[in-house]
Amino acid sequence: MSELYPAEVLINSATGAVSPATGRYAKHLSELGGIFSNADAWSRTIREENDPLIYEVLEYKQEGSDLFFGTTTMQPGKIGDEFYMTRGHFHEDRTKGEVYNTLSGQGLLLLEDRQGRSSTIEMREGSSAFIPPDWAHRSINCGPAPLVFTWFCSVAAGHDYGQILQQGMRKLVIERNGEIEVVANPKFD
């Protein structure tokens, strides 16, 4: 194992830039098939807007560390009446939680446990969300600007996308008459 050493990492609250960053990935709309309710609007937006970027993740991780952290920067937008969102996941290790701290923008963190209980936490500048172990979590940009948040997690947590990708979550976050609404997902009726 390589030696761990103290480090300062700079994070830009407006852009989510991480310096130095050790990893990055981006998700474009075409890579998020099946998570939006309106499949027609999904494919039309890919075509008409040239497969827009939905979110980008930057991370800082030292080889051998138990913890890592980084930012997620989500673009604003909607597919039909549903706001842009992340895939959503449980952690592979069911004993590992996570913390999200919102730096800028406006959104909702949608959570759901294995028993089907749902919860939402507002994401706004200065708010930190405690995500308990074994609660699935998905972030949703409900505002007109990018939503930028930092996350702090155990390296051992891992990602389990399967259940959420197959079934979706029990709540949808939509815009109706200019208002943000959390509604039941009709797939679960």
CB of 85 to Fe ion, least distance (A): 14
CB of 27 to Fe ion, least distance (A): 15
91 vs 135: CA distance, rounded Å: 8
Residues that bind Fe ion (CB under 5 A): 98
Burial (CB count <10 Å: 0-12, 13-18, 19+), residue 105? buried
Q: Which is nearer to Fe ion, 164 or 173 (CB)?
A: 164
CB of 67 to Fe ion, least distance (A): 13
CB of 91 to Fe ion, least distance (A): 6
The two beta strands, 78-79 and 128-131, are unpaired
Element (H, E) at 14: none
Q: Which is nearer to Fe ion, 45 or 139 (CB)?
A: 139
Q: Which is nearer to Fe ion, 56 or 98 (CB)?
A: 98
Q: Are 131 and 98 in contact (CB under 8 A)?
A: yes
Q: Are 9 and 99 in contact (CB under 8 A)?
A: no
Q: Are 164 and 136 in contact (CB under 8 A)?
A: yes
139 vs 125: CA distance, rounded Å: 14
92: DSSP letter: S
CB of 25 to Fe ion, least distance (A): 14
- The residue of the chain with the least Cβ separation from Fe ion equals 98
Q: Which is nearer to Fe ion, 32 or 174 (CB)?
A: 32
Q: If you search the block for the tokens 């604003």, which residue do you land on? A: 76
Element (H, E) at 51: none
Cβ atoms within 10 Å, residue 56: 20
CB of 9 to Fe ion, least distance (A): 19
Q: Which is nearer to Fe ion, 160 or 175 (CB)?
A: 160
Q: Which is nearer to Fe ion, 81 or 134 (CB)?
A: 134
